[in-house]
Amino acid sequence: MSRDKFCEEVKAKFPSISTLADKEYFRLWGDFESDLYSYSWFECLANALNNEMGKGKPPKDYQGLFTFISNGLLIGDEDIKKAIDVAFVENLFWNVPLNACELYWNALPENLKDLYFGFHRKKPY
């Protein structure tokens, strides 16, 4: 499966957060689309989740998304893995209150935690 196809599947399975990610993409990039659209979109997905965390949305609302992305990391090609690692996980928890970070960290699958910790060298809280 390609990164673009994986992005389409995330959008189809999780339309509410995907709509917020689309708005974030438009805010940052306008209607610009390139062959890196889906890569950049995963960064916008992380930003949308950060906003949701900051608003106090419960982590259980996004457990299915985290599991789906975790599975994508396990079975995806290198482009998918890079988008999950660099565009998505590295941008999670940016400017999120510490108490929300801890709740969401506990809901994050271990392989995504490993990526986060591998880059940041610490938990987000």
Instruction: Give the tens place of pLDDT for each residue, 15-30.
Output: 999 999 999 999 998 8
> Of all residues in the chain, what percent carry a pLDDT higher than 70?
99
The C-alpha atoms of residue 49 and residue 18 are separated, in whole angstroms, by 10
33: left (phi over 0), alpha (psi -120 to 50) or beta: beta
**Average per-residue pLDDT for the chain:** 95
Q: How confident is the model at residue 120 (pLDDT cuts 50, 70, 90)?
A: very high
The C-alpha atoms of residue 25 and residue 27 are separated, in whole angstroms, by 5
Q: How confident is the model at residue 32 (pLDDT cuts 50, 70, 90)?
A: confident
The pTM of the full predicted model, rounded to 2 decimals, is: 0.94
The C-alpha atoms of residue 118 and residue 99 are separated, in whole angstroms, by 22
Instruction: Give the tens place of pLDDT for each residue, 69-84.
Output: 999 999 999 999 999 9
